[in-house]
C-alpha cells in the first residue's frame, strides 16, 4: 500500500528513534511519528514520504501508553533539546540500553547474544532536573523585541522558554537580566541572514561544587575595542542585577564575565578572541578531590554528578596497579588525566584547544600533581616524533580516549595500534562511531577484545548517552 502526504491513519507505536520520534510499522512501511511514544495508539497525518520512511505527526492519542508522562517543561514538544520528556524515566533507560546493544552489534559487528555478557548496564541519575551546568542560548529579534530561546530541532527557528528544566538553577534569572540589559543599553541583535547586529549568544557555566558562574557574551563586533565602554557598562549592570536578585534569594556566587568575538557567518559558537570583562576569566569546580580551573573556551562535561560516576568507572575498568604509563587522548582541561594521576606512574594528555591545555597545566599545579603532562596537538597528527618531544618512550600501558562525536580518525586509530597498549579505555558520546572503532580494534586482525562496557546516563530526557568500553590486548 502506498501513502501520500496529508493522508490520515491510525498507528501503533512500538519503538522510538534517537531523535525522539515514535516508530510504527504498517503494511511493511516504517513510520516515524512526532509526539508519540512507545505503547501509544495514535491517529496521525502523513507529513512527508521518503523512499524508506514515512514521517507523520500525531493528531490525537487514541489510547495512551503506560510509559507516557506529563512533560515537566512547557515547550517540551517544540524545543529541540529534550526529546524524551513525555516518556517515563525507566522506559528512557530501557530504550537507551536497547539502542546501545543494537548499535554496537550492528555497526561493530558483534554477536548480540554474546554482547550481553560484556554489558554492565547503565548508571542512572538521581537528579533528573537542573543537571546541566552549561547553557548556550541564542538571542534574536522577534516583533521588534529581544528574545532568547533554543533552536527547534534541525531548524533555525527559536523556541522561547521561561525556565529550562534541565539547565542549572537560577540560569533563568540570569538570562532574563541579560535580555533586559541588552534592551536597556541598546545593543543590537545579530541577524544571521544579513550578518548585521552584534549580540549573538550567551554561554553560562556554573561550578557544581563551588557555584561559581561564568557568563560569556558572544559578539559579532569587529571593533570591539572601540565599543568597550558600552559593553563594560552593560556588563556592570548585568552583574549588579544578578547579585541583587540572587542575594534576595539568599544565594551568593562569584561571577566572571567575558566577551568572545565571533564575526564569522557560521554555526561555530566561539571566535578566536576572548576578553575578560570582570573577575578571573574562569570558574573553578571540583570532581571528587580534584580541583579544576575551566575557561569558557575549554570543554567541560555538562553533568558533574554523572561525570564523577564515569571517571570512577574508568578507574575501576583500568584496574591500575600503580606503575602504569597512561596516554589520555582528547584530554580537555586534564579532567581524566588528573583524576587518575594518583593511581598511576605517569599520564600524558593530548588536546587540540590551547586554552584547555593551559587550564590542564594550571590544574596540575592546583592539585600539586607532578606526574601529569600535557601537549597541545591534533590527535590526527600524532606520531612518534611529536610525542617524543615530551616523552622519550612510547611504552604506554593504557590509552584512554574520549573523542568528540566523530570518533577516532584513521591516523589516531593507527597510532594507537602502533603503540600497542595493553588496555584501551574508550569513552564515547556517540554509539555509532564507538561501534565503528570497536570493530577496527577487535575484528579483521585487530589485536583487542572487548571486555566490558557500560552506559552512563549523562543526558536524561534526551536519547544521548555516554558509553565506556574496556578493551584488552590479545597477547601473543
- Residue 380 in contact with ligand SAH, rule: CB under 6 A: yes
Number of shown-chain residues binding ligand SAH (CB under 6 A): 17
Nearest to ligand SAH of 141, 369 (CB atom):
369
- Residue 356 in contact with ligand SAH, rule: CB under 6 A: yes
- Give catalytic status of residue 442 as yes or no: no
The vertex-428 CA angle with 426 and 429, nearest 5°, equals 175
Cβ–Cβ < 8 Å for 76, 150: no
**In whole angstroms, what is the distance from residue 26 CA to residue 3 CA?**
11
What residue spans of 285-406 are helical by DSSP H? Answer: 304-318, 335-341, 354-366, 384-388
- Residue 45 in contact with ligand SAH, rule: CB under 6 A: no
Nearest to ligand SAH of 22, 403 (CB atom):
403
- Residue 174 in contact with ligand SAH, rule: CB under 6 A: no
Task: Give least dist CB 132 to ligand SAH, A.
Answer: 15
- Residue 386 in contact with ligand SAH, rule: CB under 6 A: no
Cβ–Cβ < 8 Å for 116, 448: no
Task: Give least dist CB 391 to ligand SAH, A.
Answer: 16
Q: Give the DSSP per-residue string, 414-441.
A: HHHHHH--SEEEEEES-HHHHHHHHHHH
- Residue 375 in contact with ligand SAH, rule: CB under 6 A: no
From the list 419, 124, 77, 47, the residue with the least C-alpha distance to 32 is: 47
Q: Is the dihedral of CA 408, 411, 413, 415 positive or negative?
A: negative
Which of 269, 353, 366, 369 is the binder for ligand SAH (CB under 6 A)? 353
Site string for ligand SAH, 319-338 (x = CB under 6 A): -----------xxx--xx--
Which of 58, 208, 379, 428 is the binder for ligand SAH (CB under 6 A)? 379
Nearest to ligand SAH of 80, 407 (CB atom):
407
- Residue 459 in contact with ligand SAH, rule: CB under 6 A: no
How many residues are recorded in the chain? 476
Nearest to ligand SAH of 11, 338 (CB atom):
338
Nearest to ligand SAH of 239, 425 (CB atom):
425
From the list 396, 443, 392, 448, the residue with the least C-alpha distance to 419 is: 396
* Near ligand SAH in 396-455, by CB under 6 A: 402, 404
Task: Give least dist CB 308 to ligand SAH, A.
Answer: 11
**In whole angstroms, what is the distance from residue 411 CA to residue 379 CA?**
8
- Residue 469 in contact with ligand SAH, rule: CB under 6 A: no
Return the C-alpha torsion angle 37, 468, 101, 130, nearest 10.
Answer: -10
Site string for ligand SAH, 279-318 (x = CB under 6 A): --------------------x-x-----------------
CA distances for 103 relative to 1, 113, 436, 440, 442, angstroms: 30, 13, 9, 15, 16
Task: Give least dist CB 334 to ligand SAH, A.
Answer: 8
Cβ–Cβ < 8 Å for 339, 315: yes
CA distances for 375 relative to 76, 196, 387, 400, angstroms: 42, 38, 8, 15
Query: Which candidate in 82, 164, 429, 442 is catalytic?
Result: 429
Which of 53, 61, 352, 419 is the binder for ligand SAH (CB under 6 A)? 352
Name residues whose C-beta falls within 8 Å of residue 437's C-beta, 6 or more positions apart in sequence.
407, 408, 413, 426
Instruction: Name the residues that contact ligand SAH, by CB under 6 A.
Output: 299, 301, 330-332, 335-336, 350-353, 356, 378-380, 402, 404
Positions marked active-site = 429
Amino acid at each position: 500500500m502506498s501513502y501520500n502526504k496529508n493522508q490520515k491513519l491510525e498507528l501503533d507505536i512500538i519503538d522510538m528513534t534517537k531523535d525522539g520520534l515514535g516508530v510504527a510499522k504498517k503494511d511493511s512501511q516504517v513510520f516515524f511519528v512526532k509526539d508519540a511514544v512507545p505503547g501509544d495508539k495514535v491517529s496521525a497525518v502523513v507529513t512527508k514520504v521518503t523512499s524508506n520512511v514515512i514521517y507523520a505527526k500525531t493528531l490525537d492519542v487514541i489510547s495512551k501508553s503506560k510509559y507516557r508522562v506529563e512533560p515537566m517543561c512547557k515547550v517540551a514538544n517544540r524545543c529541540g533539546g529534550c526529546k524524551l520528556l513525555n516518556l517515563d524515566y525507566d522506559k528512557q533507560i530501557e530504550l537507551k540500553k536497547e539502542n546501545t546493544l543494537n548499535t554496537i552489534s550492528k555497526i561493530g559487528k558483534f554477536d548480540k547474544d554474546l554482547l550481553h555478557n560484556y554489558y554492565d548496564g547503565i548508571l542512572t541519575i538521581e537528579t533528573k532536573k537542573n543537571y546541566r551546568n552549561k547553557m548556550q542560548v541564542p538571542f534574536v529579534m522577534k516583533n521588534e523585541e529581544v528574545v532568547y530561546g533554543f533552536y527547534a530541532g534541525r531548524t533555525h527557528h527559536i523556541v522561547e522558554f521561561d525556565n529550562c528544566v534541565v539547565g542549572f538553577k537560577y540560569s533563568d534569572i540570569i538570562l532574563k537580566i541579560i535580555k533586559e540589559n541588552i534592551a536597556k543599553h541598546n545593543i543590537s541583535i545579530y541577524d544571521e541572514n544579513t550578518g548585521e547586529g552584534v549580540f549573538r549568544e550567551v554561554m553560562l557555566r556554573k561550578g557544581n561544587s563551588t557555584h561559581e558562574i561564568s557568563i560569556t557574551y558572544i559578539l559579532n563586533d569587529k571593533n570591539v575595542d572601540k565599543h568597550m565602554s558600552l559593553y563594560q557598562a552593560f556588563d556592570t549592570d548585568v552583574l549588579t542585577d544578578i547579585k541583587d536578585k540572587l542575594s534576595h534569594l539568599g544565594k551568593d556566587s562569584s561571577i566572571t564575565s567575558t566577551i568572545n568575538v565571533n564575526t564569522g557567518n557560521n554555526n561555530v559558537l566561539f571566535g578566536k578572541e576572548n576578553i575578560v570583562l570582570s573577575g578571573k576569566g574562569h570558574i573553578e569546580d571540583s570532581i571528587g578531590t580534584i580541583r579544576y580551573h575551566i575557561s569558557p573556551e575549554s570543554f567541560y562535561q555538562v553533568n558533574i554528578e554523572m561525570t564523577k560516576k564515569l571517571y570512577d568507572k574508568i578507574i575501576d575498568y583500568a584496574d591500575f596497579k600503580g606503575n602504569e604509563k597512561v596516554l589520555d587522548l582528547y584530554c580537555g582541561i586534564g579532567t581524566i588525566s588528573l583524576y587518575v594521576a594518583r593511581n598511576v606512574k605517569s599520564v600524558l594528555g593530548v588536546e587540540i584547544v590551547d586554552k584547555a591545555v593551559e587550564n590542564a597545566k594550571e590544574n596540575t599545579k592546583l592539585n600539586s600533581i607532578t606526574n601529569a603532562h600535557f601537549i597541545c596537538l591534533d590527535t590526527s597528527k600524532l606520531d612518534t616524533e611529536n610525542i617524543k618531544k615530551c616523552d622519550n618512550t612510547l611504552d604506554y600501558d593504557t590509552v584512554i580516549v574520549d573523542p568528540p562525536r566523530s570518533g577516532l580518525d584513521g591516523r589516531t586509530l593507527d597510532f594507537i595500534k602502533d603503540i600497542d597498549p595493553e588496555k584501551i579505555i574508550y569513552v564515547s558520546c556517540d554509539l555509532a562511531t564507538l561501534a565503528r572503532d570497536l570493530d577496527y580494534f577487535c575484528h579483521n586482525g585487530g589485536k583487542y577484545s572487548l571486555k566490558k562496557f557500560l552506559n552512563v546516563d549523562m543526558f536524561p530526557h534526551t536519547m544521548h548517552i555516554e558509553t565506556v568500553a574496556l578493551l584488552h590486548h590479545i597477547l601473543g
